[in-house]
Chain A
Amino acid sequence: MRGHRIEGADKVRGRAPFVDDLREDVLGFTPLIALAVTAPVGSGTIRRIDTDAALRLPGVRAIMTHENAPRLRKVISLSMSEPGVRLPLQSPRIAYAGQVVAVVVAETLMAARQGVAAIALDIEPGPAPVVTLEDADNRLRAVKRAGIGPGRSRKGNADSALAAATVTTDDTFHNAPHHQNPLEPGAVVARWDGDGGVTVHAAVQWHHIDAMMIGQAFGLGWSDGMPGLLRRVIGRSRHESRVRLFNHFSGGAFGRNISYQALLLAPMAARVAGAPVKFVQTRRDTFSLMSHRSEVRQRLRLGAHPDGRLASIVLEPDIAKGNAAFVEPVGEMPFQLYTHDTHRLTSRVAQLDLPGAGWMRGPGVAHAIFALEQGMDRLAARLRMDPLDLRLLNHAGTHPVSGTPWEAKALRGAYAAGAAAIGWRDRPKGGTIRPDGRLTGYGMASAIDLGRQFPATAHVTLTADARAVVSIAVAEMGQGLLTGLTGLVSEMTGLPPDRITLRRQAISEAYAAGSIGSTGTYSNAAAIQDALHRIATRLADRTRKDRASPLFGRKAKRARIEGPDLALADGSRAPLADLLYRHGDQSGSGRAGLTFGASGKAKASFGAVFCEMAVDPVTLEIEVVRLVGAYDCGRVLQPAIAAAQLRGAMIMGLGQALMEETRLDRRTGAWTNAELGEALIPTQADVPHVEVLTVGSGTDDGPLNFKGIAETAIVGVAPAIASAFADATGGLIRSLPMTYVERLRAVSALEPIAQGVASE
């Protein structure tokens, strides 16, 4: 199936329900409204919360503070979120500014707002909060692991290789913290049920994990908590839980679309109020209740042989960590991109007085590849090589560390396609004056992200009237997963898409891989394929015993559903629809395990990003004129959706490059530009001609010969843009976003205008 999103028509007609839209007709009840009261300062202890005035307001029903909040049990957060280390409203201690210190429950939103305004906090101030790396020297600790990535690693003796290298670079790069800023601020509805269970309506990215967290916190368990979950992942997972999490569409995500804390605060508030509650996040709440991409500083030294081959990569990241286990996995990807003799990674992490940091598109890799690719450009300049030629020279034919062959890699094709589309080889010299007086610059960078498969199980029924019902609790956050999976099932079975139903209620359907890390479609499709294999085996076994069947008497071994047929190992086949009609409904459960490339080969998506920029020589205003991204994501399942994903991620990369930062008031520790009008993301007017090319193809003819899309496409965009600025002006970018302050710094040593013309 090649087309538009299955849920697209409902969304553009306003018929797709988002959590905040849910009313009595869907819920069966009218919830009270709950709003958070947050701490204005980043450290201290609450002496007293004066709720009297608020409780006297008409419509205010309850106020929950650390004093009357339900006690929660410890949770294990597989997603390394804040509740794993800090549960809400369990103590009077303030760990960061914007922390929830009370929740007001009222009959209307207006009453709840008035209640929030009427609450007075009496806080005993603590020591000054530390919220930036600049102020955190004495909090930096060397780490072995940085989140899911390594904190330390080495190949050979990188320091002596660096000392012996003919050409070297040494730069310190900086990335400001920023937020996902999904368009939908988010809401969670919670109701306690008669059997002691809880019904929760939310939009989450990996709902069995989130349901498990809710179950653990309230002592319900997702059955048996962690071991139970693992058991279910390995075995079957059709299971009724007392955590009834209904997962809805989300209006954007990119790492997080609802606060993990809100998933707990809503049931807590419902218990305190004794009635169903809808916890609503204000826009400002989204900055401190939800995670952010953390600040990172990286010293990068590269050493090269005279011909440009990489002799040494020494990367020393300092990573900010908030009140969550999550650490930006900066060290995970930079050594997987280029062939190199030696490397050393030495990471340090500083625990800061900030909300928990978390996943945001291209976690770790978006920061790390910015630094690596800027370093490669500096190296190319010293070697007097074309930046693209330096990348081609160091192209990794096998995995640069393990030496394992790649499952599929079309990065050279991506370089060629992107370079051709932008005219790289014929580009004007950097700084050439355009007809309008501005300076021209070109830049390029590589992109990479790891291919992974996460655990998933799927239950599939093929019906006698030739329909497929797939039960799998996946999360659709706008990325097109439902459409992609439906298309894949159609391809696997030969059934038309309109005969395929995806049932995705989290409370009753099978455990699905989350919509995370560009793995959702692949992992869940692998589980579905496994289920279909099981059905095929059973169906073949039945039909070989059926005298009326064309497959009568054949060996059933290695039977496969190859839409639209059931195919046997000996090459014989029969139409699947006929067999189903004859033998009735067929069901099977399948699973996918946690792997990093099922083939034992190294697996990653790749890309090459090219940028043309115009810079005003006087004001340093920049316009990204063209952005070309050529990506190797294996086979493309849904061209329209893939192009939209890639283009969207490139625009996000443009935001990372040019404007996205959330600033902090170092005195209080609070985010200062915590609103959409001030925390800038690109507008239509910032978005240039964006051209998306796909170059990959699968390793074989199987349906699973595709790779992740979403994360890879943000990688490489920021360094390509930064390089184009350097090409145009000579000013080298060290910090993202490259706002005026950074651009002025970059050119300050170069331009006569910045030297200060003597004024009279």
Chain B
Amino acid sequence: MTPPVLRRDGLPLGGEKWIAGGTTLVDLMKLGVERPAGLVDLGARRGELARITEAEGMLTLGAMTTMAEAERDPRIRQRYPAVHLALSLAASPQIREMATLGGNLLQRTRCTFFRDGRSACNKRNPGAGCSAIGNPDEPRALFGASGHCVATYPGDLAVALVALDATLSVEAADGSVRGMAGSDLHRLPGDTPHVETALDPGELITGIHLPLPDWTGQTYVKLRERASYGFASASAAVCVRLEGRTVVAARVALGGVASVPWRCRGVEDWLQGRIADRNTFLQAGRACVSRADPGVGKDAYRQELCARAVTKALLVACNSASDDAV
């Protein structure tokens, strides 16, 4: 084991990794969880990849835009409040100044057995087994878990992107660029939990494209145990199009409770044509978790929390949060 070499140009070769803001990668290297053979610094491409551009109503965020830069952008604040909130509620202000959007999407799980560097973990050490399965004391994914991994995806931005139908630009090692739906980025653990994304080796996310917003309301609700620098116990990104008091279209995505950013298509369909009121949203929240893995032990409360996050997000997105209380 030798200290990783940092290179300022070229492509990552076998065992090497890109480094942008470094807020996740360096943390995991210090914990001994990530052990890259070398790092390739993306700093030289910041001029090209850290721009926010607008074309035909679509906003493109360069993948090296920092979370703080994107959070402060007035177009995002006004047209994509779900994205703005997902960014401004993430991490801490200090981390957001350093972390890039592309890196944020690739953030790895907070599962304690992954991070401790020594428990059995199929993500860290494929085939080693999973210390979280059958453990009643630690959170597990309510959706998307497999018999090999029950870790949750911890990020916020990706959840908002899935709700908004965002797409990504991905650059291959040969310089060619392909498009990818935001919802296709993260892979379910299945029997290969160490393969977390649909990116091929050496591929790089270069841009995030936010489609023209045609929602009457959107928001991101994040429930966590402290007000800053805390991961979601449950979160919900919601987009709604209302006509009068009727929901004509909705998007619901869940964060912090699933292996990947989790879209609730069944509930989206169910909401169509419903009256936008508290009762509808309570039912929608409950329906979102009705097919959750029932969980074990102390973790069962997260279904309830998840349902409440969805209800709250729908209320906010429909601007009716303060009309009536329980």
Contact = CB atoms under 8 A, between A and B. Distances in A.
Contact of B221 (A40, A113, A436, A619): A619
Contacts of A621: 223
B311 interface: yes
A667 B136 CA distance: 9
B52 interface: no
B187 interface: no
A753 B301 CA distance: 14
A665 B135 contact: yes
A619 B230 contact: no
B56 interface: no
B137 A753 contact: no
B290 interface: yes
Interface stretch (B9-17, B69-77, B279-287): B279-287
Interface in A421-436: 433, 435-436
A666 B136 contact: yes
A9 interface: no
Interface stretch (B199-207, B240-248, B302-310): B302-310
A386 to B, nearest CB: 25
Interface residues of B, number: 45
B326 A752 contact: yes
Contacts of B298: 741
Contact of B226 (A658, A663, A759): A658
Most buried by A among B118, B226, B301, B309: B226
Nearest to A741: B301
B98 interface: no
A133 interface: no
B133 to A, nearest CB: 11
Interface string A727-760: 0000000000101110011000001111011111
Which of B227, B233, B309 has the most CB atoms of chain A within a 10 A radius of its CB? B227
Given A672-B138, A753-B282, A620 B308 contact: yes
Interface string A426-452: 000000010111010000000000000
Nearest to A114: B1
B225 A658 contact: yes
A405 to B, nearest CB: 44
A688 to B, nearest CB: 10
B319 to A, nearest CB: 11
Question: Looking at chain A, what size class is its interface with the partner chain?
Answer: 35 or more
Given A117-B1, A619-B223, A666-B137, A680 B230 contact: yes
A685 interface: yes
Interface in B284-320: 286-287, 290, 298, 301, 304-305, 308-309, 311-312, 315
Contact of A616 (B32, B137, B228, B312): B312
A667 B120 CA distance: 13
A577 B304 CA distance: 73
B53 interface: no
Nearest to A664: B137
B226 A659 contact: yes
A439 B138 CA distance: 31
B115 interface: yes
A677 B286 contact: no
B279 A618 contact: no
Contacts of A758: 283
B325 interface: yes
A673 interface: yes
B266 to A, nearest CB: 11
A433 B321 CA distance: 12
Interface in B235-294: 270, 279, 282-283, 286-287, 290
Contact of A686 (B136, B227, B282, B311): B227
A59 interface: no
Interface of B: 1, 3, 32, 92, 110, 112, 115-116, 118-119, 131, 135-138, 221, 223, 225-230, 233, 270, 279, 282-283, 286-287, 290, 298, 301, 304-305, 308-309, 311-312, 315, 321-323, 325-326
21 contacts: A437-B322, A439-B325, A618-B311, A618-B312, A618-B315, A618-B326, A621-B223, A665-B138, A666-B137, A667-B135, A670-B116, A672-B138, A677-B229, A682-B226, A686-B228, A740-B305, A753-B282, A753-B311, A753-B326, A756-B286, A757-B279
Interface of A: 40, 110, 113-114, 117, 284, 433, 435-437, 439, 616-621, 623, 658-659, 663-668, 670, 672-675, 677-678, 680, 682-686, 737, 739-741, 744-745, 751-754, 756-760
Given A437-B325, A617-B325, A744-B304, 5 more contacts: A659-B225, A665-B112, A683-B227, A737-B225, A760-B283
